[in-house]
Amino acid sequence: MKLLIKVLVFLVLAIILTKLPIAGKYFAVANTLIHEVGHQLASILTFGKAHEIHLFSNTEGVAYSSHQFWIGKFITGLAGYVFSSFMACTFFFLIYKGRYSMVIYILLAILGISLLFWVRNVYGFFWIITFTAAFVWLLWKAEGLIIEYVVLFLVSVIFIESITSAFEIMYISFKTPLQAGDATSLAGLTRLIPAQAWGILFFVQALYFGWLAMRKFKPT
């Protein structure tokens, strides 16, 4: 019950923070990076090439990749929202198990690989370097309770963003279906399945992973 209350408190804080114009967007980019890394990993796993990732201060991101096969391009298009939802769920599972440092190590691995191989724009460099420095300091200097609260806060932000970004793409797919990012790309690839259907799918899977994450913390 104590952990459940902590999680709920930090989820509320994450909702409030992500509404702030500067700090909120800065922290929300964590979910953007995970989303774009999902695209790049899918590219590699389907025998394509992962080229670059660009991160922007408005929380938008772009992953550039190329593919030999249609199925690779299709899976890569699906992967972004699914991967960010899956990782948010995984992080909460680790929190439930008390593995707070493991969350930081996984995020550091994502940051390091992205910096070395993919992120190539100025804001992306700035964001990754500052986030990495904060994590290194945290592991080096901070005590257990501080690490716990920082991880709870950051994972809550990633969790909230994984759901709200999926909802936003669903909303955009109905309002302006030709500008709905991954939903538009998948609609172009599949022809018969419209962007709206992909937008709904992205939101439903985000809710499903959200439910999987939260059910661990339900009172017994």
CA distance 138 to 149: 11
Instruction: Output the pLDDT for position 21.
Output: 87
Instruction: Output the pLDDT for position 219.
Output: 67
Structure-derived torsion over alpha carbons of residues 185, 81, 154, 164, reported in degrees to the nearest 10: 80
User: What predicted TM-score, i.e. pTM, was given to this entire model?
Assistant: 0.95
Q: Say if 220 falls within a structural domain.
A: no
Instruction: Output the pLDDT for position 144.
Output: 78
Mapping DSSP onto H, E and C, the string for the chain reads CHHHHHHHHHHHHHHHHCCCCCHHHHHHHHHHHHHHHHHHHHHHHCCCEEEEEEECCCCCEEEEEECCCHHHHHHHHHHHHHHHHHHHHHHHHHHHCCCHHHHHHHHHHHHHHHHHHCECCHHHHHHHHHHHHHHHHHHHHCCHHHHHHHHHHHHHHHHHHHHHHHHHHHHHHHHCHHHCCHHHHHHHHHCCCCHHHHHHHHHHHHHHHHHHHHHCCCCC
Distance of CA 52 to the CA centre of its chain: 17
Q: Which residues form the domain of 209?
A: 2-215
Instruction: Output the pLDDT for position 1.
Output: 57
Tell me the mean pLDDT per 10 residues along the chain, length 220: 87 93 94 98 97 97 95 97 98 95 96 96 97 92 87 97 97 97 96 96 98 83
Q: Say if 173 falls within a structural domain.
A: yes
Instruction: Output the pLDDT for position 72.
Output: 96
Q: Say if 16 falls within a structural domain.
A: yes
Q: Say if 209 falls within a structural domain.
A: yes
* CB 186, CB 78: distance < 8 Å: yes
Q: Say if 130 falls within a structural domain.
A: yes
Number of domains in the chain: 1
Tally of CA atoms within 13 A in the half-sphere of 51 that contains its CB: 8
Instruction: Output the pLDDT for position 186.
Output: 97
Instruction: Output the pLDDT for position 216.
Output: 82
